[in-house]
């Protein structure tokens, strides 16, 4: 597997996207045979979707194409070290491994600093910029009770 080749392609996608009014990020999902099964470019502003990061786009396309919700045999290549949201998506998609080009510091220098989100994770709910509230409803466990009752559930 030529990791450098795929990583360079993500940079091309990112440069091309930046040139066309998109965010400067690109990503690819590549399967075991070396076939590109998912391509992603940052479409946050063009699609009014704050979750449309390149990695998420590539994961969605790959899952759609392979008709699966797990990319266990795939590698994710991305032009930049994934943000905390994409990090979560990468774990949920269970890709085999990740290769990235630019790191968090370069992203921050380019105007994309996600350090504050990492810092938020370690704060108590009271200290966070976006407050979280829980209300103690008696039926709060109903979704899990229903889930556990199902005989033909697809576990993930
Ligand atoms: Zn991201």
> Which residues have a beta carbon within 5 Å of ligand 1, which is an ion?
53, 83, 85-86
User: Phi then psi for 87, rounded to 5 degrees?
Assistant: -55, -45
* Contact (CB, 8 A) for 28 and 48: no
- How close is the Cα of 134 to the center of ligand 1, in Å? 27
- Which pLDDT score, from 0 to 100, does residue 1 have? 79
Task: Please list the active-site residues.
Answer: 55
Each of the 156 residues of the chain gets a pLDDT tens digit; together they read 799 999 999 999 999 999 998 999 999 999 999 999 999 999 999 999 999 999 999 999 999 999 999 999 999 999 999 999 999 999 999 999 999 999 999 999 999 998 899 899 899 988 999 988 999 999 999 999 999 999 998 888
CA 34/CA 82 separation, integer angstroms: 21
- How close is the Cα of 143 to the center of ligand 1, in Å? 29
Give the tokens for residue 37: 């099964």
- How close is the Cα of 88 to the center of ligand 1, in Å? 9
Give the tokens for residue 5: 């080749």
Tell me how crowded residue 71 is: count the other CB atoms within 10 A of its CB: 24
pTM: 0.93
């Amino acid at each position: 597997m030529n990791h450098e080749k795929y990583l360079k392609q993500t940079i091309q996608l990112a440069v091309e996207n930046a040139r066309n009014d998109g965010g400067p990020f690109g990503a690819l999902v590549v399967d075991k045979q070396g076939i590109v099964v998912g391509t992603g470019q940052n479409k946050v502003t063009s699609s009014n979707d704050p979750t449309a990061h390149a990695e998420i786009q590539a994961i969605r396309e790959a899952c759609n194409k392979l008709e699966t919700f797990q990319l266990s045999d795939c590698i994710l290549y991305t032009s930049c070290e994934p943000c905390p949201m994409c990090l979560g998506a990468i774990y949920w998609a269970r890709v085999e491994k990740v290769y990235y080009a630019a790191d968090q510091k370069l992203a921050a220098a380019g105007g994309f600093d996600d350090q504050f989100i990492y810092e938020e994770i370690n704060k108590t709910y009271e200290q966070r910029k976006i407050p979280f509230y829980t209300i103690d409803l008696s039926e709060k466990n109903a979704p899990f009770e229903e889930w556990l009752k199902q005989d033909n559930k697809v576990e993930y």
